[in-house]
Amino acid sequence: MTDIEDSKIYSTSDLCLASTLICNKFFMIGIDYQIEGQKNSPVGYFKFEDSPNLQTARQKFLQGMLRVDPREFHRNLHTLRSEVLKMASNPHSSAY
């Protein structure tokens, strides 16, 4: 098994892609966030261990060829969004 620190990390701020990757059983390593934009909103950067399988899933997502359970997708989307907002309001309380 490869140590996560020795592997390549794939990071995306695309909330829908992150939710889709989780639905497809890709393990999320963590979340970073930054305050961005004119409204100073927190933007999450979702980190996954990069792999050829993840890149294939990403390409299928971008082409509209990747299917997921809509309820699981929505649940993951809500959870990820909530986690980013929680991190922004109290950066020391996050599990990531």
**Rounded-to-integer distance, Cα 96 and Cα 87, Å:** 9
Say whether pTM exceeds 0.95. no
Task: Locate the DSSP E strands across the chain.
Answer: 9-12, 28-36, 41-49
pLDDT tens-digit series, residues 4-22: 455 799 999 999 999 999 9
DSSP assignment, residue 52? H
Q: pLDDT: is 55 or 94 the higher one?
A: 55
Q: Give the residue among 37, 40, 27, 31 at the shortest CA–CA distance from 12.
A: 31
User: pLDDT at residue 2 above 50?
Assistant: no
pLDDT tens-digit series, residues 33-77: 999 888 888 999 999 999 999 999 999 999 999 999 999 999 999
